[in-house]
Structure 1
């Protein structure tokens, strides 16, 4: 096992007769890539978080609950699947009235066994078309934070991977230069002139 001395911080920028130009370039590269990685991740994550949160807030503002009436009876679910905690649902045609007074129809989910005329709450958009129920503010915040964090991590990987590739290329060049020097000086190593 090779002995390694104490770790010296910022050694690439300190004055040292053994410091090579490649060490300085690598030091600046590591610093620049680190800053760019953090900056890209934070900016992309925050922008995505804000965009998703605003989109979900617009969706919440656009959705309206409406009372629909089931047109035909919902068939009973299979007898073997009925439990106290499990309620069978089925898809059925329903009608509802939108804000402008017109009547719309569509397929909605209703409890099994619901008869014609049963009231079902549906969600509609501003044009009166069926829509999913909006997410709660807490769910929206969680979703926005999760998407923002994943986007930030993904965006941070780009400069990090690019910097890693550049460092590997610098390392190969440094090793090639050392091999060249060793080929030139190695045969003369044991001579005493």
Structure 2
């Protein structure tokens, strides 16, 4: 009886799949961490620039701001209103911004301006900026994981199809030999 060569216990495709899984996890962990840290650092830089650039100034309401019709938010309801303020270089400007409701024309309100004296939003506090930068960093890291897992899934799908095709080829060769032994 001639000795037949035994099929290896582990096919080359199985080892390839193991390396693909390892690469996907490494890219997710290392790449996600680096992406998240870079994003968080960039966001913190933007927030720091906003805090350095923006200033709180006094403005005067040009019209009454009626109470909110909803009555739900209470004293914290805000509405858009026209205001007038003076920039650091002495120029008087007008514009619309959100102010608390229920105020009368002529009331003094606090508004935020940017480095050019235009109305802006209040910059985030250092704590708010740190939290938002952290959330953005985590989101960026997770956003990287989607495509990485997708590429890994496609590679594993391709390997599975190739293995199934190889199994079919091997069965076509070996199957008839088994049917002769059972007679």
Q: What TM bracket, shorter-length normalisation?
A: 0.7 to 0.9
Q: Which residue of 2 aligns with 1:125?
A: 114
Bigger proportion of residues as helix: 2
Matched, 1:149 2:138: yes
Q: Which residue of 2 aligns with 1:77?
A: 67
Compared CA separation, residues 84 and 167, structure 1 to 2 (3 A): closer
Q: Which contiguous aligned blocks of 4+ residues in structure 1 show a shift greater than 6 angstroms?
A: none
Separation in 1 of the partners of 2:151 and 2:129? Answer: 34
TM-score by length of 2: 0.84
Instruction: Return the offset for 1:130.
Output: 0.3
Aligned length: 176
Instruction: Return the offset for 1:64.
Output: 0.2
Compared CA separation, residues 162 and 68, structure 1 to 2 (3 A): same
Please state whether the residue corresponding to 1:135 is helix, strand or coil. Answer: coil
Separation in 2 of the partners of 1:19 and 1:27? Answer: 11
Q: Which residue of 2 aligns with 1:114?
A: 103
TM-score by length of 1: 0.80
1, 10, 14: which is aligned to 1:23? 14
Q: Which residue of 1 aligns with 2:174?
A: 185
Matched, 1:134 2:134: no
Separation in 2 of the partners of 1:27 and 1:117? Answer: 72
Which ranges in structure 2 are unaligned for 5 or more consecutive residues? 1-6
Separation in 2 of the partners of 1:56 and 1:18? Answer: 57
Instruction: Return the offset for 1:88.
Output: 5.6
Which ranges in structure 1 are unaligned for 5 or more consecutive residues? 1-15
Separation in 2 of the partners of 1:35 and 1:87? Answer: 48
CA-based RMSD of the aligned residues comes to 2.5
